[in-house]
């Protein structure tokens, strides 16, 4: 195991939290003292970096993970949020964080992603989920679902979510979906406010291919990780499957999944 003297860090910050700048400055100073370089970045990563560091809560780490996944480099989080389900290091642990980042090999845990594409070749990748949902708040939509080339059903609903295991604690959970351990590989399909007898989630094998056809006269919107990807007109199809490659989190494994769930949902105070 050797240390890397030329480590380049890309920082993704939560600008809405006043303490973020102070933590970033401390990380800058500690990194510079070791001969490392830091740069602020966003979704359009335009600098050569080795690791993306998200400073904030889970939302910031999700954004950092999107940046890292697009560049095919690891991501790690410094927790300034109230939950910190995805973030492993606290602000007082910056030196320990830099020690871990400099290691060769770096301790990395891979997590499954999701992929969405249209028939005309447009492709998007998500860390948490793909959501096909209504555009008009007063109207439900009809979405025909095909699983592995076999027609499944047509939902009348506000929308449908397909979540990765990592995303099972996000939007999917709020509509009654199951909580999956993040090291699993599966797709969780959950209808949103369905007008149907089938209101439960389906947990599908990771090699499943799901097609969503807009069977409504009105358009439906497609979001990945809360960001709009496209709009499907009547008859248009979205194909969802496991992502082409995982997102890689730098992790020492010091926060096991059950402890993360207990902290996220405040079970110590139940």
* Average pLDDT across the chain, whole number: 90
Q: What digits encode the pLDDT tens for the residues 252-261? A: 866 666 666 7
Q: What digits encode the pLDDT tens for the residues 112-130? A: 999 999 999 999 999 999 9
Fold of 114-242: Tumour Suppressor Smad4 (2.60.200)
Active site residue 268: no
Q: What digits encode the pLDDT tens for the residues 6-48? A: 899 999 998 888 889 999 999 999 999 999 999 988 666 666 8
Residue 13: both structure tokens together: 């910050």
- In the predicted model, what is the mean pLDDT of residues 237-265? 82
Cis ω for the linkage preceding 105 (within 30 of 0): yes
Q: What digits encode the pLDDT tens for the residues 50-85? A: 999 999 988 899 999 999 999 999 999 998 876 666
The H or E element that residue 95 is part of is: helix 94-101
Superfamily the domain 2-111+246-269 falls into: Probable inorganic polyphosphate/atp-NAD kinase; domain 1 (3.40.50.10330)
DSSP-derived secondary structure for 97-115: HHHHHTEES--EEEE--EE
Residue 9: both structure tokens together: 């860090």
Q: Are the CB atoms for 1 and 105 separated by under 8 Å?
A: yes
Strand residue runs (E) in 139-226: 141-147, 150-157, 159-163, 187-192, 202-204, 210-214, 220-224
Structure confidence at residue 196 (pLDDT): 79
Report domain extents, the chain.
2-111+246-269, 114-242
The H or E element that residue 125 is part of is: strand 123-126
One of 28, 50, 58, 129 is an active-site residue; which one? 58
């Amino acid at each position: 195991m050797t240390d890397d003297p030329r480590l380049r860090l890309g920082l993704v910050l939560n600008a809405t939290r006043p303490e973020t700048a102070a933590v970033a400055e401390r990380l800058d100073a500690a990194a510079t003292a070791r001969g490392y370089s830091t740069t602020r970045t966003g979704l359009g990563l335009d600098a050569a970096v080795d690791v993306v560091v998200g400073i904030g809560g889970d939302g910031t780490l999700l954004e950092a993970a999107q940046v890292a996944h697009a560049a095919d480099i690891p991501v790690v989080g410094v927790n300034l949020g109230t939950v910190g389900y995805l973030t492993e290091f606290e602000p007082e642990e910056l030196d320990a964080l830099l020690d871990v980042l400099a290691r060769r090999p770096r301790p990395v845990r891979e997590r499954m992603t999701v992929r969405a594409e249209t028939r005309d070749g447009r492709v998007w990748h998500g860390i948490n989920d793909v959501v096909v949902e209504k555009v008009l708040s007063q109207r439900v939509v009809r979405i025909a679902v095909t699983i592995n080339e076999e027609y499944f059903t047509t939902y009348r609903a506000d929308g449908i979510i397909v979540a990765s295991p990592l995303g099972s604690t996000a939007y999917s959970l709020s509509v009654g979906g199951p909580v999956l351990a993040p090291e699993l590989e599966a797709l969780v399909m959950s209808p949103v406010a369905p007008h149907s007898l089938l209101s439960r989630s389906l947990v599908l094998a990771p090699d499943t291919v799901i097609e969503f056809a807009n069977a409504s006269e009105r358009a439906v919107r497609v979001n990945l990780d809360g960001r709009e990807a496209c709009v499907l007109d009547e008859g248009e199809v979205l194909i969802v499957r496991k992502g082409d490659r995982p997102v890689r989190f730098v992790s020492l494994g010091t926060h096991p999944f059950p402890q993360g769930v207990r902290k996220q949902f405040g079970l110590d105070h139940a």
